[in-house]
Amino acid sequence: MGHHCCSKQKVKRGLWSPEEDEKLVKYITTHGHGCWSSVPKHAGLQRCGKSCRLRWINYLRPDLKRGSFSAQEERIIIDVHRILGNRWAQIAKHLPGRTDNEVKNFWNSCIKKKLIAQGLDPKTHNLLLSSSSSSSSCSHTSKINNACNTTIISHIPHHRIHHPQHYPFTLTTHHGGGGGGGGVTTIAGNFSAAATIDMCPPPFITIPPPQPPPLIDHRHHHHQILLEGHHESNSTIPISNSNAVATTTTTNFQYEDAMAPGLLWGTSNSSESGSSSFSPATAGFGFLDENCFWGGSTSGDNNNNINNNGDPEQPPPLQPPAAAATTGGEQLHVIPPLEPPEAAEKRVIFGSSSTDHQEKGGEGMDNPFDLEFMESSLLPYCNMGSMEPLSWDC
């Protein structure tokens, strides 16, 4: 039984032989594929065009990069996946020489398991909140007391919280009786929430959604949310999630969007002792839509698009178009909240031609904080994991 597209043909299925590969390569390199349905006929193959196309794209293409994924590629996959979801073709576009099939397989066989092992939902990249309390592999429990009665989880690596006493919330992390000696880490603040969440490392922190426009210091590569009454503080919360960058737009916070690329685990935490040096152009950070993602490296390992093998084939860090054109990448741009792929895909930022945004007012870069727009896109995330949706009534 052949494919539905070639059921009338007598086609071979299964693995390709070297002879078949040779025929296909020879034909395509000399004639191009043209119409795939005619390729097997002209190439002398007992295959359907669909199979030929797949074989060429996934295996025979000369520009394919073979071999295992580098750590940087892995981070890129995670970062982009967090925004786009299982859109492997779009993710693969950020990994030259990699196919969607390859990325998908790598995700399913490796990355997904790593995330799960870290207590993260591979679909949402957020904490697995529901049943992990009984999990023997997770011994961290955090209680977030939030007077703002708001819960929007954002990705703030636990180890990147500096000077926690300056932050308007209380995060108490109880390190369980497992290895490492346990203990309690308390971050005092002024919001509390009823939620108790498990904090499998790396944990996330609950951040209020946007209300007023953010305080953004465009003079720096990183921006900060100034704590009310604490403007003298140099304390910052590096936020590792573009979602948080856009949604933590409150009068209460000062933040920097350092380490924006989110999930940092494994060997990629090498810069955790640092705090403020950040450049959107060098950190793996920022998403527009699937066609505009820049950066890619989140760790301190070079950020220069050279992978661990010194292979310079990594994709160049894409600049936000407006930034590249108008400010040489110096100006900070605000990233929209994490949102479902369907919405993220249409997101417009940096004053680019997002009809979606324009329909909401068309302000482009003049008003990167279209709050109504952002909040509406944020809503689906107000009930992450098993948490109850919380109000925003600070």
Partner DNA sequence: AACTCTATCAACCGCTTAGTT
Partner DNA sequence: GAACTAAGCGGTTGATAGAGT
Chain residues in the site for DNA (CB under 7 A): 1-5, 12-16, 33-37, 47, 49-51, 53-55, 58-59, 68, 86-90, 100-102, 104-106, 108-110, 113
Q: How near is the Cβ of 55 to DNA at its closest, in Å?
A: 5
Taking Cα atoms as reference points, which of 143, 145, 142 lies closest to residue 192?
145
Q: For DNA, give the closer residue by CB, 120 or 225.
A: 120
Q: Which is nearer to DNA, 68 or 131 (CB)?
A: 68
Residues comprising the chain, all counted: 394
Strand-pairing partners, residue 113, are: none
Q: What minimum distance in Å lies between the beta carbon of 74 and DNA?
A: 12
Taking the least distance from each CB to DNA, the nearer of 48 and 193 is 48
- Of 349, 345, 346, 343, the C-alpha closest to 368 is 349
Between CA 153 and CA 277 the distance in angstroms is 24
Cα–Cα dist 202/153, whole Å: 13
Whole-number minimum distance, CB 114 to DNA, in Å?
10
Shortest spacing between CB 28 and DNA, in angstroms = 12
Determine the Cα–Cα distance for residues 102 and 89; give it in Å rounded to an integer.
Answer: 10
Nearer to DNA, 89 or 379 (CB): 89
Closer CB to DNA, residue 53 or residue 158?
A: 53
Q: Which is nearer to DNA, 74 or 256 (CB)?
A: 74
Residue closest to 115 by CA, chosen among 175, 176, 74, 154? 74
Answer yes or no: are the C-beta atoms of 70 and 26 closer than 8 Å: no
| Distance from C-alpha of 299 to C-alpha of 112, rounded to nearest angstrom | 20
Question: Of 17 and 270, which has the nearer Cβ to DNA?
Answer: 17
- The SS3 assignment for 144 reads strand
For DNA, give the closer residue by CB, 260 or 348: 348
Which residues make Cβ contacts (< 8 Å) with residue 254, sequence separation at least 6?
215, 224, 225, 226, 227, 230, 231, 233, 235, 236, 237
Cis ω for the linkage preceding 202 (within 30 of 0): yes
Q: Closer to DNA at the Cβ: 87 or 221?
A: 87
In the bound complex, what is the minimum distance in angstroms from residue 355's beta carbon to DNA? Answer: 14
Task: Write down the least CB distance from residue 346 to DNA, Å.
Answer: 12
Question: DSSP string of 269-309?
Answer: TTTTT--S---TTTSS--EEETTEE-----SSS--SS--TT
> DSSP string of 225-263?
PPPTT-TT-----B---HHHHHH---TT---B-TTTT--
CB of 216 to DNA, least distance (A): 33
Query: What's at 224, amino acid-wise?
Result: Q
Q: Count the helix, strand and coil residues of the chain and give each as a percent rounded to the nearest 5.
A: 30, 10, 60
**To the nearest whole angstrom, how small is the minimum distance from the Cβ of residue 254 to DNA?**
37
Residue 3: CB minimum distance to DNA, A: 4
We find the least distance from the C-beta atom of residue 370 to DNA, in angstroms, to be: 25
Whose Cβ is closer to DNA: residue 1's or residue 184's?
1
CA distance 139 to 201: 9
How many other C-beta atoms are found inside a 10 Å radius of the C-beta of residue 84?
21
